[in-house]
Amino acid sequence: MNSQASNLRTRAWPQALLESAVLSSALLLGSTMALANSASVATAPAKPGVVKELQQAKTYTISSPPVEQLMMDKPKLPDLTGYTAEAAAKKIVRGKPAKVRMGRMMAENGLKEFIGGDNKMAEWVARQRGIPQAIVVEDGYATLKDLAKKVPKQYLNEVSPGVFLARVPILVTEHATLEIAKNELRLSQEGGSFLVIEGKLFMSDSQLNGWREADKGLASFRSPTEFRPFLLSWGGSQTYVVNSKMASLGYSKSKSYGVSISQYTPNMAKVMKRPEPTGWIIGSEFADMWYGFYCYETRDFVVKGNTYRDNIVYGIDPHDRSHGLIIAENDVYGTKKKHGIIVSREVNDSFIFRNKSHDNKLSGVVLDRNSSNNLVAYNEVYQNHSDGITLYESGDNLLWGNRVIANRRHGIRVRNSVNIKLYENVAMANGLMGVYGHIKDLSDTDRDIALDPFDTKVSLIVVGGELTGNNSGPLSIDSPLSIELYRVAMLAPTKSNGISFNGVLGERQDEILDLLVRQKKAVLIDPVERQTELQD
């Protein structure tokens, strides 16, 4: 599935932003600005119990290891050439016509998530003014036109050529296929409509919209708790969305986030015994979604070449135990509450590359909660309102060749994560540090330590690239297990006295710069007493 990175397509960088960043760096060179936004973070002592009290190592050794052990080949990236509209179309099996019927929501396994405890069914009773019904597609192939022919018009109606309005949920069961091609499907907010896939969905050159009938328009976001229609694909499903648009879907209820690809909930998964869901979303656009994309226990899903704009909480959010994902060549911007792209809780062995993530409320790209063995490469991450790329409690990850520019806080931030390799990245004109590594005790937060354990340890390898014109300095690390530096360019300092480090690096700055800059050697900074020993 992989190809050499030499085949990478170079993407255009916003020229105005580069010019602005370079100009800012030049103007700041020699400035005597006070570091009001110093990146040094004081760590409060931990309470006895789950996490032992943090302690600072007192002394560090500075040495120059052989550079050979730091050399790496360019990472291999997945070959994207096979993920096309034509390839998706070839997967469609237009066999026997599906059976289409009206069924009670409470009788369908695929809908039980929405009618169980907490008086969930009251939502649909109120909206449908009776026992909740759904359109059920079974055992074969169907289009929207096929569905409209077989159910009463008050449930699904072709309101104008190629435009269909659904006023109840639509369920595509395990052995069924629904194709939406060159159509618009409007899911009525007033009617409580949504689309659930247990079989296969093929959507191409189409629109799927949350629809507010009272306004004769999109069900634009008003409140996290207000029902809005959504798309959910369960375990065993295959979802293919190509060259399509989705808007105004999703709200804060579980599995109702907008576009969700999810294994069944644990109790249902034991009953259904179906494999992890999969599919592709390519060349499409998502706007005003609660989450633009969410997945849970999903395998080998491809999210490629899409635009995620002005979504509410996240643009792209793979979650628990998803793996083998490809998130590539997407443009993610304008997320209103949190991050552009985030993977969280054991999202492993995945690829995040050649994306643009910019102008989001918090970070551009985040690896969170023990997500490991991921490659984050060649992304353009700029003008986010917090960090550019953030790693929280997620060790054993490689960041290669990213351009992280003009984010309001740190360019690259690494918290409680070990064996983080930063190769050939550019962190430029960020509001605080270019690269910031630190430890933090999270035991006093609302974090479930059993579900999301962590260690207060951080270690980095930084090789190549540039740390240029960052407002608080190029690099800071707080109480590391180790840090290795080699061939890192540090240009356009913002301080009148030139390059300066914070944290433990600042204490031995002259030695580090002598090895790194004058002698052009690798530098290993290693505590005499490691954090593990300090906590014994």
- Reduce the secondary structure of 424-465 to three states and give it as a string: CCEEECCCCEEEEEECCCCCCCCCCCCCCCCCCCCEEEEECC
Q: Write phi, then psi, for 491 (nearest 5 degrees).
A: -120, 165
* Contact (Cβ atoms closer than 8 angstroms) between residue 314 and residue 289: no
Element (H, E) at 144: helix 144-150
Which amino acid is residue 469, in one-letter code? G
Please enumerate in sequence order all residues whose Cβ is within 8 A of that of 317, keeping only pairs 6 or more positions apart, or say none.
Answer: 257, 291, 292, 293, 294, 295, 339, 341, 342, 343, 344
Residue 253 tokens, joined? 């209820």
CB 237 within 8 A of CB 200: yes
Encode pLDDT of 59-72 as tens digits.
789 999 999 999 99
Alpha-carbon distance of 92 to 82, in angstroms, equals: 16
Round to whole Å and give the CA distance between 93 and 89. Answer: 9
Pick the range with the lowest mean pLDDT from 205-209, 281-285, 346-350, 438-442.
Answer: 438-442
Residues 6+ apart with CB under 8 A from 530: 57, 481
- 10 Å CB burial of residue 109 (0-12, 13-18, 19+) is middle
Distance from the Cα of residue 73 to its chain's centroid: 26
Distance CA 522, CA 463 (A): 9
Q: How many CB atoms lie within 10 A of CB 59?
A: 10
pLDDT given at position 44: 34
CA–CA separation, 483 vs 418, rounded Å? Answer: 10
How does residue 3 score in pLDDT terms, banded at 50, 70 and 90?
very low
Instruction: Give the Cα separation of 227 and 257 in Å (integer).
Output: 10
Q: How far is CA 260 from the centre of its chain?
A: 13
CB 378 within 8 A of CB 353: yes
Q: Give the pLDDT band (50/70/90) at residue 23.
A: very low
Which residue has better confidence, 356 or 47? 356
> In the prediction, which pLDDT does 47 show?
35
Quote the mean pLDDT of the chain: 88
**pLDDT for position 500:** 72
Whether the pLDDT of residue 18 is over 70: the answer is no
Pick 40 or 500 by higher pLDDT: 500
- Cβ atoms of residues 290 and 311 within 8 Å: yes
Q: What is the pLDDT of residue 497?
A: 60
Of 460, 457, 528, 475, the C-alpha closest to 54 is 457
Strand partners for 160: 163
Residues 13, 333, 419: CA angle, nearest 5 degrees: 75
- Please compute the mean of the pLDDT values over residues 489-507 and round it to a whole number: 74
Whose structure tokens read 């994560």? 417
pLDDT of 507 = 80
Structure-block tokens of residue 158: 């072709």
For residue 464, count CB atoms less than 10 angstroms from its CB and return exposed for 0-12, middle for 13-18, buried for 19 or more.
middle
The residue to which tokens 């207000």 are assigned = 226
Question: Is pLDDT above 50 for 11?
Answer: no
Pairing of strands 231-233, 217-218: unpaired
Contacts of 101 (CB under 8 A, 6+ apart): 135, 136, 138, 150, 151
| Residue 350 DSSP label | -
Amino acid at 128: Q
pLDDT tens-digit readout, 309-333: 999 999 999 999 999 999 999 999 9
Q: Averaged over 290-309, what is the pLDDT?
A: 98
The first and second tokens of residue 125, run together, are 């009773």
Q: pLDDT at residue 251 above 80?
A: yes
Residues carrying an active site annotation: 319
Q: What is the reported pLDDT for 442?
A: 83
Q: Among 23-27, 126-130, 186-190, 495-499, name the one with the lowest average pLDDT.
A: 23-27
Q: What is the mean pLDDT of residues 97-113?
A: 96
Q: Which residue has the higher pLDDT, 440 or 258?
A: 258
Q: Tokens 């969280």, residue?
A: 344
Q: Hunting for tokens 């060259």 — which residue is that?
A: 243
Tokens of 2: 């992989």
What is the token pair recorded at 485? 């530096």
At 390, which helix (H) or strand (E)?
A: strand 389-392
Contacts of 236 (CB under 8 A, 6+ apart): 174, 198, 272, 274, 275, 277
Cβ-contact 429, 470 below 8 angstroms: yes
The strand ranges marked E within 54-123 are 60-63, 77-78, 99-104
For residues 34-60, give the mean pLDDT: 38
Structure confidence at residue 496 (pLDDT): 61
Residues 6+ apart with CB under 8 A from 424: 400, 401, 463, 464, 465
| One-letter amino acid for residue 155 of the chain | Y
pLDDT the model gives residue 129: 93
User: How far is the C-alpha of 437 from the C-alpha of 418, rounded, in Å?
Assistant: 10
